Structure 1
Amino acid sequence: EKTKNTSGAKRIYCMPGYILKNTLSDNGHVSRGICRVDKNGSLTSIVERKKIMRNNGFTQYCDKNGSWHDIDEESVASMNFFGFDPSVFGLLEAGFKNFLNSEDTDLVTGEYLLAPALGEAIAAGECEVRVIPTDAKWFGVTYQADRALAKEFINNLIKRGVYPEKLWGKTATDRAGAYTV
């Protein structure tokens, strides 16, 4: 019951707003929530785009029909990092039930995505998501070829004093090297 919003007040959440070009992999496509933000810094819409990549000098995404479309690499992008409180579960519950009961949902491979769910809640006036702009670069291991770059990136953060060399008893590069893709 703590997840129910009984006050009638709009829920307030937050998220970092990355610059799309800072979240792309050089080794293949990625999925991102592409955001529109108003002049007050609030999210007005978020659309999940899959297969975003640099392609022949352009940044593009592929739609569900297999067509490629240009996308501004300066767009605000969500990396699915959000500042929620427990009220988000009440907000997402009805949509999740609909997702599970939909004839279009493949229960083996289907994903209930946050971006469309939040977009619907924003459009319905049920919540506000404040966007915290960041020029931080994302790095990760989406593809095997990303592994060496991730290790190098972590080592550079350690050298600059941004990231600790030891975290939970192991060095950061030991942990990055321990994962396989």
Structure 2
Amino acid sequence: MSNNKQDLTLVILAAGLGSRFGGDKQLAQLGPNGETMLELSLKSAYNAGFSRAVLVIRPELTDMLDEALAGKLADDFSCEYCIQSLDDLPNSARGFVDVAQRQKPWGTAHALWSARNHVHGPMAVINADDFYGDSAFSLLAEGLSAADNDWMMVAYPIGLTLSENGGVNRGLCQVEAGKLVDVAEWLDIRCEASGLTGTLDEQRLAIADDAVVSMTCWGFKPDIFEVIEQQFSHFLKDNGQHPKAECYLPTVVQARLDARSETQTDKVVNVSVAKESWYGVTYPEDVNWVREKLQQTLSKD
């Protein structure tokens, strides 16, 4: 393994409940040697030059993750936990929220917000239950080290991210000259007789076959936390009483792309398209297929 460590942090969003999957996907042993997706990502990040990881989790996962990762990480790679708490909210929005009615996390934007006191430099942000491939982490490390203020994203062709067992949610992207122009969270994307369709703003719409999507594979600088605080506060004021509403990172990123003022310069989000396939489990029926794909992919290494 490489010893050329950079000051890069990998933030892994691992607090999800896996409601459609029926359990904690972040602990599912899907790799050829019983690895979790989380373990595979940690190893890929280390090899790409990341020096530390912050895992955003629910408190009840601590002991299970300790056991799952025991002896698996390099000595010069640090890993710490950050608890995602339902009541860890921006002060300006607390009066709009009924936490007592809430049973699930507030979404990926809140998950990253939870890590704000643990990260002080460039960071990659991924999901714990997805497999991104080694090249994605190399692209993230390269992009985060190349520009002082730019953010970045590793995108995936939409056709490589679908499930045969039901609809999926994806951040659909518009990219021009390698820069992100627009990203919006589409729900229940699936392949139907008429082609790919998904739900945006409660409307069922067609999706182009060559679209690229965000799979929560981002590269940010610490200014992301200020943007999350602002946009998450707006979200809570509008949706704080809704027990299932979630604030997504693509929504936060899009708000910053759209921001135009005398005090803010335009934000550049560079986009690299992944060189390897993405694998993930949304439904229990996806497990055997993902295990087979990971066996084929990782046996080539």
TM range, normalised to the smaller chain?
0.7 to 0.9
1:122-137 matches, within 5 Å, as: 122-124=257-259, 126-137=266-277
1:45 and 2:182 correspond = yes
1:54 and 2:191 correspond = yes
1:21-170 matches, within 5 Å, as: 21-39=159-177, 41-65=178-202, 67-102=203-238, 104-124=239-259, 126-161=266-301
**Map of 1:171 onto structure 2:** none
Q: 1:22 touches 1:136 (CA, 8 Å); kept in 2?
A: no
Once the two structures are superposed, what CA deviation does each residue of 1:56-92 show, in whole Å capped at 9, x if it has no partner?
Answer: 1511113454x53211121111011101122210121
Q: 1:19 touches 1:135 (CA, 8 Å); kept in 2?
A: no
The 3-state SS of whatever aligns with 1:15 is strand
Q: 2:179 touches 2:268 (CA, 8 Å); kept in 1?
A: yes
* Range with bigger deviation, 54-63 or 142-151: 54-63
Quick one: percent identity of the two aligned structures? 26
Letter in 2 for 1:22: L
**Map of 2:29 onto structure 1:** none
Letter in 2 for 1:19: P
The 3-state SS of whatever aligns with 1:47 is strand
TM-score, with normalisation over the residues of structure 1? 0.76
Once the two structures are superposed, what CA deviation does each residue of 1:91-117 show, in whole Å capped at 9, x if it has no partner?
Answer: 211111121222x34453121111111
Q: Which has the higher contact order (CA 8 A, sep 6+)?
A: 1
Shift, 1:158, TM fit = 2.4
Letter in 1 for 2:163: S
TM-score, with normalisation over the residues of structure 2? 0.47
Q: 1:22 touches 1:138 (CA, 8 Å); kept in 2?
A: yes
Residues paired across the two proteins, number: 152
* Range with bigger deviation, 135-144 or 51-60: 135-144
Instruction: Give the whole-Å Cα distance in 2 for the aligned partners of 1:106 and 1:142.
Output: 27
Q: 1:33 touches 1:115 (CA, 8 Å); kept in 2?
A: yes
Shift, 1:124, TM fit = 1.4
Instruction: Give the whole-Å Cα distance in 2 for the aligned partners of 1:138 and 1:57.
Output: 25
Q: 1:135 to 1:19 in 2, by over 3 A?
A: farther
Instruction: Give the whole-Å Cα distance in 2 for the aligned partners of 1:57 and 1:110.
Output: 29
Unaligned runs of 5+ in 1: 4-9, 162-181
RMSD: 2.2
Instruction: Give the whole-Å Cα distance in 2 for the aligned partners of 1:81 and 1:93.
Output: 20
